[in-house]
A and B are shown apart, each in its own frame.
Chain A
C-alpha cells in the first residue's frame, strides 16, 4: 500500500473562499493509499513547506500531492521541498484547485466536489509515479561552425576568443561568403572588403580555429555535447602546407578564360585560382573540370613553375571526423534566379523579364561586383553587353520576393536598403546618369536606415516609382521597361541602358540536404527553423545546434552579426558546464517488447530515435529495435501514442499514470 500525503492549500482565501478545504482533506484522507491529508493556509510559505517535509519524515510518505495553484506556478517549489525531505522530486505532484477550480467557479458545492475529484485522480497518478534521476550528458567543448561567411566568421571568432576550439568548414576555396563580394555597405557606405578582410585574417591566424575550406559536411551523428562530424575535404590539388601563396601558378596557367563565379561571371580566372585576391587561405585550388591537365593529361605548367613543389595532381578527397559538442549553422543564402523554372524548383521564373536572356538585365549582386573597386571593371559601372557606361539605370525591387504567384511570399528584407545604396553608388560614379527605382513599399526599419533611404531619394535624386514592372524587352541597344506608376495612375515606359533586379534572398540550394544530415527542421522555403520564433531565435529545436545568419531567413549584415554572436554565446553557455543536466522526462524503449516497426522514429520531431541491434552472445542478430537517445529526446511523447504495442514510454507520463487518472475520474 502506498503512503501518500495530501496537502491542501487555502491560498489565503483564494481557494478556501469557494472550496471547502477541510472537507477536501476529510474525504481524501479516506482514499486508499493516503496516509495523511492536511489543509494549511499557505502551503508555499516556509512553514507550509516545513509541514510537508515534516510529514514526509513522520509518516514515511512515498508520494506527495499538493493541492494548490497551477503546477506552472509552484511545482518546482514543492518538488524541491520533497527532495529536501529525502523524497524523489518526481514523486511529488500538484493538483490544481486554484486556477482550474476555485477561481473559475462560484458554487461552493460544485467547486468542492471538483476539487475532491482533482485531488483524487492526482493521488491515483502519484501512486504510479516512479522515481526519476536527472540525466547528465558529458560535453565535448569544441564547436563546429558551418559556413565561412560573415555569420560563421563572427561566431567562430567569438567562440574561439572564449578559449574553445572551433572547427570552421567552408565549401568554397576561401572564406568571406557573400559579404566579400559586396562593394560598399549600407547605411554607412564603408567598403565591405575593408571591414571584412581583417576578420578573415583573424580567423586564419587564430590559434583556436581549425579552418577547412573547400570542404563540406558529409555526415553528422551524435547529439548535444557529443556530435561526430565527418568533413569531406575536397581535393585541392595543392598541398596547403607547402604552398606559399606566391601566385606564380595562377599567372602562368595557360587556361585563363574561365568565367569567374565570384565576379558573377563578368570576369575570367585561370584554372588554378583563388576566387579573389584577398582570399583566406591564400592557397589556390585547381578547378579540375576546366584544367587542361585533368581534361587531356597534357600541360602541367603549374607543377613546373611551383617553387615549393606544392602542386599535387593525385590528391584525393579526404574524410576527417571531428568530435564537437555544439554546432553553429551559418550556411547563408542564394539569390533567386529569374530563369525558367527547373522541374524540381518551386519557384517560377520571370518570363516577362525574358527569363534572364537579356544581357543588360542583371541582379543586385552583379551590380555590387560592377561597383566594387576590386571587381572585373575596377569599380567602373559598365554594362555587360557592350561595356558602355549606362546613362539610365532602372532598378526593380521585389523580384521574386513578396510574389506569391512566383512561389515566394516573404519579404527579402535587404533589397530596399541595398537598392537605395545602389542608386547612390551609381550617382557617385556616373554623375550625369539617372537612376529609377520601381518599388512596392520602401521598408527601412533599422538604425539610420530610413535616413539613408531618404538621402537616396532627396539628395541623390533617384526617381522612385511606386509600381510594378510588367515587361522588359530589348529594343536596339536599350532595354524597354514597361511599368506602372500607381501613385500617379499612369503607365510608364523607360528606355534603360541597364536594368538591375533586386532578386529575392532564398535558401541555399541543398539547404534541405544539410538539414537532413543535421537533423534540424526547415520551413517550406528551406530556411532553417528556430526553436521558438520569439524566445529561442538562435536555437534549433535539435539540442546543441544553433543558427546564425541568412540560413534561417533573409537578414542584413548587422542582424547577421548579432545573431552569430548570440549563437556563439549560446555555445559558450553550454560549454560553461562540464556536464549537461536535464529533466528526465524522456522516452524509454522496452527492448523486449519492441517489434522494431520504427514508427516512433518516423514521428520523432527531434530525431532522437535510433535503430539498435540486439544480438545474442555469439553476435547473431536477434532483432532490431528502437532506441531513444535521452540526450536528444525532447519529451513530447508522440512516439508513445504512435507505438502500437506501447513499447516506448515517456517517463513522467506513462500509460499507467494516465490510465490511473482516467480510472479515478
Chain B
C-alpha cells in the first residue's frame, strides 16, 4: 500500500526494554510501517531533549521516545528522571508552537512486542494524516535575518548595507 506522504519517524529507545520489545516484535514476525528509524540508548535517562530538537531539525516528522515502565529501569531511576525531563520539555515545545501530536512517549517493555507495533503504527498513521512537519523544515531553508524592520533607523541601516 502506497501513500502520498511517507513520514520520517525517529525513535529514541532504551536498550533494555523497548529495543528488546522491538526485537520481540521482529522474532514474532509482527508487521508495522517501515517509517521508523530506531536509535538505541542505554536508558531513557541518557536521552537529551536536544536530540529530539535535532531530529526535528534534521527532518523528522515525528519523534518517539520509549523506555522501561516505571520500576523496571535497568538502572533503577533513569526513566524516572527522563519522565520529569520530558514532561517539562514537551510543555516547552508546545509553548513555542510545536504540535505535540508529533512527539510520542511510551513505556514498552521487553515483553511488549505487540505494544511496540501498536505505538509505532499509531504514530506513523497519525503523522501521515498530519503531513510533513513544515515548521522546522521552513526554518532550515531560511538563511537570512527575517525580523521585521520596524523603525526608521533600522530600515535605513538595512538599506545602507
Contact = CB atoms under 8 A, between A and B. Distances in A.
B23 A72 contact: yes
Nearest to B77: A605
Interface stretch (B51-59, B93-101, B141-149): B51-59
A98 interface: yes
13 contacts: A72-B20, A99-B26, A104-B32, A104-B34, A110-B34, A118-B37, A634-B75, A637-B41, A641-B85, A658-B41, A662-B39, A662-B55, A665-B8
Contacts of A653: 41-42, 46
Residue of A111, A606, A650, A661 with most chain B CB atoms under a 10 A cut-off: A661
B42 A636 contact: yes
A422 B51 CA distance: 62
B19 interface: yes
Interface residues of A, number: 46
Given A99-B27, A100-B38, 17 more contacts: A70-B23, A96-B38, A98-B26, A104-B25, A105-B32, A113-B34, A121-B39, A636-B46, A636-B73, A653-B41, A655-B48, A658-B51, A662-B58, A663-B58, A665-B8, A665-B58, A665-B60
Contacts of A650: 42, 46
B144 to A, nearest CB: 23
A585 B27 CA distance: 27
A637 B42 contact: yes
Contacts of A652: 42
A640 interface: yes
Interface string A626-645: 00000000111110111000
A529 interface: yes
Interface string B76-97: 1110011001000000000000
Interface in A83-114: 96, 98-101, 103-107, 110-111, 113-114
A197 interface: no
A521 interface: yes
Contacts of A98: 26
B134 to A, nearest CB: 18
B10 interface: yes
Contacts of A638: 43, 45-46, 75, 77-78, 81-82
Contacts of A118: 37
A113 B27 CA distance: 21
Interface of B: 8, 10, 15, 19-20, 22-23, 25-27, 29-32, 34, 37-43, 45-49, 51, 54-55, 58-60, 73-78, 81-82, 85, 117
A529 B34 contact: no
Contacts of B8: 665
B78 A114 contact: no
A519 to B, nearest CB: 12
Residue of B34, B58, B74, B75 with most chain A CB atoms under a 10 A cut-off: B34
B31 A105 contact: yes
Contacts of B82: 638, 641
A641 B47 contact: yes
A143 B26 CA distance: 45
Interface of A: 70-72, 96, 98-101, 103-107, 110-111, 113-114, 117-118, 121, 521, 529, 531, 541, 585, 603, 605-606, 634-638, 640-642, 650, 652-653, 655, 658-659, 661-663, 665
A99 B10 contact: no
B77 to A, nearest CB: 4
B78 A636 contact: yes
A44 to B, nearest CB: 16
The 6 residue pairs across chains A and B that have the minimum distance between CB atoms:
A99-B26, A637-B46, A638-B45, A636-B75, A110-B34, A103-B26
The secondary structure that dominates the B interface is: mixed
B39 A658 contact: yes
Nearest to A658: B51
Contacts of A70: 19, 23, 26
B117 to A, nearest CB: 8
Contacts of A605: 75-78
A103 B32 CA distance: 10
B48 A640 contact: yes
Nearest to A659: B54
A113 B6 CA distance: 12
Contacts of A71: 40
A254 B71 CA distance: 56
A101 B19 CA distance: 13
B43 A637 contact: yes
Contacts of A658: 39, 41, 51
Contacts of A103: 26-27, 29
A663 B54 CA distance: 8
A496 to B, nearest CB: 43
A120 to B, nearest CB: 10
Contacts of B78: 605, 636-638
Contacts of B15: 72
A72 B81 CA distance: 25
Given A118-B37, A637-B46, A638-B45, A662 B22 contact: no
A106 B31 contact: yes
A665 B31 contact: no
B139 to A, nearest CB: 16
B23 A100 contact: yes
Contacts of A655: 48
Contact of B42 (A111, A521, A531, A635): A635
Residue of B26, B29, B74, B77 with most chain A CB atoms under a 10 A cut-off: B26
A661 B77 CA distance: 26
A531 B8 CA distance: 37
Given A72-B19, A104-B30, A665 B46 contact: no
Contact of B48 (A105, A636, A641): A641
